[in-house]
Amino acid sequence: MSVFEQLQRLSDERFLSIYESLSQDGFGPLDGDVARLLKYRPQAIRNVPMAQRAKKARGILQSKHNAQMCYEIFGAYLIARHRELVTGFLEATGVKHENGMLEDLDNNVPEAAKIESAVNELDAKFDPADVTLYLALCAEQWPQRPELAALWRKRAG
């Protein structure tokens, strides 16, 4: 559950930044759930400051131990804002993809010998916090590659 652990390690500011970056038309990715929690009508949730909504959304994820939703939020953030990071890793490690989208996850795994050098290249080009976030997703996505989980754990502290 590396993505859930990654959620727990994020600062409130970092989670807010990710949450806010995924907003569309003034709605955050979990604002429907936040509105239900606060007993608001869905449209009225836009009157609540984004920081408060993000805090409630994070609480929902944590209380439900929802690793799948964490994975989806983090993945959406990385694809929307840092697709080059994702595609750079995939290409450097020999994973077949279509603009960052994968098929056949069981047989399409990163080459173990290329992982560390790929991550070093990404660190030179992107914010290491985003690289660490992506490694959490990779560790979850490819549990048959323990190198990914070990590298993520080393970076995540």
Instruction: Name the residue among 124, 64, 63 with its Cα closest to residue 89.
Output: 124
pLDDT for the residue 126 = 97
Answering whether pTM is above 0.85, one says yes
Residue 111: pLDDT band (50, 70, 90) is very high
DSSP 144: T
Round to whole Å and give the CA distance between 117 and 140: 20
Per the listing, tokens 């560790």 go with 139
Estimate to the nearest angstrom the gap between the alpha carbon of 32 and the chain centroid.
20
Residue ranges of alpha helices (H) inside the chain are 2-9, 12-21, 31-38, 50-63, 67-92, 112-125, 128-141, 146-156
pLDDT for the residue 103 = 82
- Does residue 1 have a pLDDT over 80? no
Per the listing, tokens 């994975």 go with 71
